[in-house]
Amino acid sequence: GLNFIDLMVRQGNIDNPPKTPLVPGFECSGIVEALGDSVKGFEIGDRVMAFVNYSAWAEVVCTPVEFVYKIPDDMTFSEAAAFPMNFVTAYMMLFEVANLREGMSVLVHSAGGGVGQAVAQLCSTIPNVTVFGTASSFKHEAIKDSVTHLFDRNADYVQEVKRISTDGVDIVLDCLCGENTGKGLSLLKPLGTYILYGSSNMVTGETKSFFSFAKSWWQVEKVNPIKLYEENKVIAGFSLLNLLFKQNRSGVVKGVMDKLLNLYNNKKIKPVVDSLWALEEVKEAMQRIHDRGNIGKLILDVEKAPTPLMANDSTETSEAGEEEEDHEGDNENKERMPFIQ
């Protein structure tokens, strides 16, 4: 599975980035080829999905047994690689942190992405939950049925939400950070919960820019505990990778995975796979996430052959809003067209 955190690792926009050389990636699916001496519950040949503390983008992956789960019979390998990070993150934020219940309202950014689509599906399992989503306008037609109210990511979504729900929302899920932190807090109802689970605004160009990074942090709302107390608001953070690999909560995550797999088997949820890419195409796959072009999850498939390069007819616009010129004869500026699910 390919996640936005992988772009942040690539650009060094995380605490204590690993030393190179390294193999990126935090989740995968495949077939068990070998077992440790004391491993129980799995056999060679089992179809499994797993969390990995780096090194998931490989043909052979090794990870402790507590991070491994059997794949349901009717789930494909690509769906399984798209399942753990997105759905566990969405479930734990909604139900473990924010205590989502009937009749509540949720605002989720990047509603067309992997976590956004998982949030929308999980909200649909609870009666009368209103989901407000922001997404790039070209995604609206494809995802309009998955959320209650959909706004352009560049529009003034605060006013749009307040026009529909004058007192705001119960839960804000923020993967953007920057100026959106203050906006999210301003939209919370009393007893509402704001959860920061990413900071994609920190990733702006092809390379890390100190100035864009500093600007994004400068825009973050300075949180006053007295104000939280007076307004009856909750502010929280969520990092699944830290929970798994630094805080040793794999048992909690296993309980969540059991619930999610039960929902999947009852056809209540289903991972959305945007596209499949060969390992050799990882640069183009990361660019698709960077440009927010995906609906659902991008998957690296070790058995897939690279797709021939296609000429890119138009200039690309980066997240920083700068046009990247398409130089003739320069393969670095050609776009591979992957197999779209």
Q: Give residue-wise pLDDT tens across range 135-166.
A: 988 999 999 999 999 999 888 999 999 999 99
Q: Are 105 and 82 in contact (CB under 8 A)?
A: no
- pLDDT at residue 282 is higher than 50: yes
Rounded average pLDDT over 198-218: 52
pLDDT confidence of residue 251: 96
pLDDT confidence of residue 220: 61
The pair phi, psi for residue 27, each rounded to 5°, is -150, 150
State the pLDDT confidence band at 297, using cuts at 50, 70 and 90.
very high
Domain ranges for the chain, please list them: 4-210+217-300
Lowest mean pLDDT among 235-244, 290-299, 302-311: 302-311
State the pLDDT confidence band at 233, using cuts at 50, 70 and 90.
very high
pLDDT confidence of residue 280: 93
Identify the residue with better confidence: 90 or 312.
Answer: 90
With 0-12 CB in 10 A as exposed, 13-18 as middle and 19+ as buried, what is 338? buried
pLDDT confidence of residue 333: 42
99-104's contacts with Cβ under 8 Å and 24+ in sequence apart are: 99/193, 100/126, 100/129, 100/170, 100/171, 101/126, 102/126, 102/127, 102/128, 102/129, 103/127, 103/128, 103/129, 104/129, 104/130, 104/170, 104/171
State the pLDDT confidence band at 314, using cuts at 50, 70 and 90.
very low
The per-residue pLDDT for range 56-75, each reduced to its tens digit, is: 999 999 999 999 999 999 99
- Tokens at residue 179, please? 């100026």
SS3 189: strand
Lowest mean pLDDT among 23-37, 49-63, 206-220: 206-220
Instruction: Give every strand in the sheet of 273-277, ordered side by side.
Output: 297-300, 273-277, 339-340
SS3 257: helix
- pLDDT at residue 325 is higher than 50: no
The per-residue pLDDT for range 5-24, each reduced to its tens digit, is: 898 888 777 777 788 888 99
Rounded average pLDDT over 220-226: 75
Identify the residue with better confidence: 19 or 207.
Answer: 19
- pLDDT at residue 190 is higher than 90: yes
Rounded average pLDDT over 212-217: 52
State the pLDDT confidence band at 172, using cuts at 50, 70 and 90.
very high
Average pLDDT, the chain: 86
CATH of 4-210+217-300, one of 1.20.140.70, 3.30.420.40, 3.40.50.720, 1.20.1070.10: 3.40.50.720
- 103 to 100, 178, 194, 223: CA distances (angstroms): 9, 29, 17, 28
